[in-house]
């Protein structure tokens, strides 16, 4: 039933095979055996797609209810059950490198029966289609099909190399950035509009430059190469801030912070392995000055 549900959700035998570490023919045989047992055709297969038959649609809905009922039954005795199983996690590339990965050894030592499958991408993914259990997302959340829990905040800084400032001068106010070559991270909805906070005042500046990228690693490399100025998460440059190489400027004007959310699928009960991972990150983030939300995290049900 679980295999059948995942085939329907992903639309691919191969994708499910990769998820559970087996082969496409094995998944195909499992579905064929299920159809033979039920004596009905569940899926109509073509070279390019899969679609449910009418009987398959009804069976799929029942399977989802059965699987959820099993999850609820296990959760009812959750305090006696050790967190275990494969946990699929997705997060942005640089955030995974600088923040998530340093925590993985500690998490796996605490929960030795959990196995982590980490994928990193700066693109938002479909959790159901990809089979991801938890996605870490930075910025405002608009996916109402998921449940989100705020677990931290990304404070940002305005940075460039000392060499760049020696050649182009150092901005003294956000409006001075208009005269500079600014590096834009295109994954943010605000694009080339940068927002700064000074006490209760919010300042918006529309910047321009000759380089932009949809990957924060590329932004880091562009800044360190001396191409221009960027507004970036403090964790992206935490190892080189205010060294001979890099300088943080505009201390009186803080770029608007971005919330960090743990996103997971909407079910009647959150799987124990998912809850353990989210709670672990929430605790660790509160003692990390790069992402600390000072205990003001909140759960948002979309």
HEC readout, 246-265: EEEECCCCEECCEEEEEEEE
| Whether 256 contacts 195, CB under 8 Å | yes
Give the model confidence (pLDDT) of 91-148 as tens digits: 999 999 999 999 999 999 999 999 999 999 888 888 877 888 999 999 877 766 788 8
Cα 179 from Cα 172, distance rounded (Å) = 12
Phi and psi for 57 in degrees, rounded to 5? -65, -45
Please report, for residues 196, 198, 205, 257, 294, the alpha-carbon distance to residue 186 in angstroms, rounded to integers and kept in the order given: 18, 24, 16, 17, 28
Give residue-wise pLDDT tens across range 28-82: 999 999 999 999 999 988 777 788 888 998 998 898 888 878 777 766 665 556 7
pLDDT of residue 197: 93
In the numeric block, the tokens 């990304």 are attached to 154
If you average pLDDT over residues 194-217, what whole number do you get? 93
Q: Residue 78's pLDDT is what?
A: 58
Task: Of 164-168, 262-266, 294-298, give the range with the top mean pLDDT.
Answer: 164-168
Distance from C-alpha of 63 to C-alpha of 1, rounded to nearest angstrom: 6
| Residue 98 phi, psi dihedral angles, 5° rounding | -90, -25
Structural tokens at position 119: 């994928």
Q: What local confidence, expressed as pLDDT, does residue 297 receive? A: 43
Give the Cα separation of 259 and 130 in Å (integer): 24
Contact status, residue 17 vs residue 26, Cβ threshold 8 Å = yes
Beta-sheet strand order (sheet of 182-185): 211-213, 182-185, 229-233, 156-161, 246-249
Q: To the nearest whole number, what is the mean pLDDT of the chain?
A: 88
Closest among 33, 31, 28 to 14, alpha carbons compared: 28
Per-residue pLDDT band for 301 (boundaries 50, 70, 90) equals very low
Confidence band of 296 (pLDDT split at 50, 70, 90): very low
Residues 287-298, mean pLDDT to the nearest whole number: 70
Residue that wins the pLDDT comparison between 189 and 138: 138
Which of 91-105, 145-159, 257-271 is least confident?
A: 257-271
CA–CA gap between residue 288 and residue 283 (Å, rounded): 9
Could you give the CA distance from residue 195 to residue 205 in angstroms, rounded to a whole number?
6
- The pLDDT, as a whole number, for residue 77 is 67
3-class state of residue 181 by DSSP: coil
Q: What is the pLDDT at residue 6? A: 85
State the pLDDT confidence band at 154, using cuts at 50, 70 and 90. very high
Q: Report the distance separating Cα 248 and Cα 28, nearest Å.
A: 56
Express as a percent the part of the chain with pLDDT over 70: 93
Look-up of token digits 């990809």: 130
Predicted TM-score (pTM) of the model is 0.75
Higher pLDDT, 92 or 85: 92
Which segments within 146-298 are labelled E, that is strand? Answer: 146-154, 156-161, 182-185, 193-198, 201-206, 211-213, 229-233, 246-249, 254-255, 258-265
Measure the CA–CA gap between 237 and 223, rounded to whole angstroms. Answer: 10
In the structure, what pLDDT confidence band is assigned to residue 255 with cuts at 50, 70 and 90? Answer: very high
Task: Please state the φ and ψ torsions of residue 233, each to the nearest 5 degrees.
Answer: -60, 145
- Alpha carbons 38 and 40: distance in angstroms, whole number: 5
Residue that wins the pLDDT comparison between 87 and 78: 87
**What is residue 81's predicted lDDT score, i.e. its pLDDT?**
66
Dist CA 143 CA 295 (whole Å): 24
Tokens 């910047």 -> residue: 207
**Burial, 301: exposed, middle or buried (Cβ in 10 Å; 0-12, 13-18, 19+)?**
exposed
């Amino acid at each position: 039933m679980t295999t059948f549900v995942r085939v329907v959700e992903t639309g691919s035998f191969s994708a499910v095979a990769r998820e559970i570490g087996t082969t496409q023919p094995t998944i195909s045989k499992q579905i064929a055996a299920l159809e033979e047992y039920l004596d009905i055709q569940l899926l109509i297969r073509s070279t390019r797609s899969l679609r449910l038959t009418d009987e398959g649609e009804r069976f799929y809905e029942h399977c989802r209810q059965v699987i959820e009922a099993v999850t609820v039954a296990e959760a009812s005795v959750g305090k006696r059950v050790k967190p275990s199983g494969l946990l699929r996690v997705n997060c942005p590339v640089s955030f995974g490198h600088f923040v998530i990965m340093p925590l993985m050894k500690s998490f796996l030592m605490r929960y030795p029966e959990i196995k982590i499958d980490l994928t990193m991408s700066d693109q938002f993914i479909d959790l159901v289609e990809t089979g991801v259990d938890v996605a870490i997302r930075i910025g405002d959340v608009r996916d109402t099909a998921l449940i989100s829990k705020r677990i931290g905040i990304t404070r940002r800084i305005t940075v460039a190399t000392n060499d760049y400032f020696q050649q182009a001068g150092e901005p003294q106010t956000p409006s001075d950035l208009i005269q500079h070559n600014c590096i834009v991270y295109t994954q943010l909805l605000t694009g080339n509009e940068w927002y700064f906070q000074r006490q209760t005042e919010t300042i918006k500046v529309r910047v321009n430059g000759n380089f932009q990228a949809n990957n924060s690693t590329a932004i880091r490399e562009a800044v360190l190469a001396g191409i221009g100025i960027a507004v970036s998460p403090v964790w992206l440059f935490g190892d080189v801030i205010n060294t001979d190489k890099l300088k943080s400027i505009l201390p009186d004007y803080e770029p608007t912070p971005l919330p960090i959310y743990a996103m997971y699928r909407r079910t009647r009960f959150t799987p124990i392995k998912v809850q353990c991972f989210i709670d672990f990150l929430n605790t660790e983030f509160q003692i990390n000055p790069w992402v600390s939300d000072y205990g003001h995290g909140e759960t948002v049900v979309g």
